[in-house]
Amino acid sequence: MATELWTPAGTAYNGIIPAGRNMETGSQIVSHQIRVEAKDLFGKVHKQIIRVLADDETSQSEIEDMMGHAAENFVAEVREKYTKRPATENERKQIGKALNEYLNNRTKRRESTSNKIYFEGIGNGKTNRHTIKRHH
């Protein structure tokens, strides 16, 4: 079978693992494993193990081509998928607070029979109540 396989840049060859036998020909099928690392636009490294199945009839150049295409596809996928900057810890806290506030107000609106929320201590001074209409 294949010896000294060429691997694309940014990959590491992990070796061969037996995967079974071909039912039609009875030849052994093996899995060639490579580990691929790719950086997204923000510098975060993404890793994946890629397995290429081959039998006795598969040439070394075909195996290398399949590994090269798989590695290129992974790098392209990482660059397309991770184009938006991840939220910072401060931004996640603000998003969480806003979401909790929305969920609490939604619960209060559902409990109200007039589709309004009454807040005590806020208002025009006469009734000491402030109302917010329910949005549909």
- What are the pLDDT digits (tens) for 6-31? 888 878 898 899 988 888 888 899 99
24-33 long-range contacts (CB < 8 A, ≥24 apart) are: 25/55, 25/56, 25/57, 27/55, 27/56, 27/57, 28/55, 28/56, 29/53, 29/54, 29/55, 30/1, 30/54, 30/55, 32/2, 32/5, 32/63, 32/67
User: What is the per-residue pLDDT for 52?
Assistant: 92
H or E stretch including 17? Answer: strand 11-21
d(CA 54, CA 64) in angstroms, rounded, equals 11
Mean pLDDT of 97-123: 72
Helix, strand, or coil (residue 36) = strand
In which element (H, E) is residue 116 found?
strand 116-120
pTM over 0.75: no
Most distant CA pair in the chain: distance in Å? 90
Average pLDDT over the chain, rounded to an integer: 81
Amino acid of residue 123: G
Closest CA to 50 of 83, 28, 73: 73
55-85 pLDDT tens trace: 888 899 999 999 999 999 999 998 888 777 7
pLDDT of 34 over the 50 cut: yes
Average pLDDT on 99-111 reads 82
**Distance between terminal CA atoms of the chain?**
67
* pLDDT value for 102: 87
Percent of the chain with pLDDT over 90: 32
pLDDT of residue 119: 57
Q: What is the CA radius of gyration of the chain?
A: 29
Q: Work out the pLDDT band at 126, boundaries 50, 70, 90.
A: low
Listed residue (129, 2, 116, 134) closest to 56, CA to CA:
2
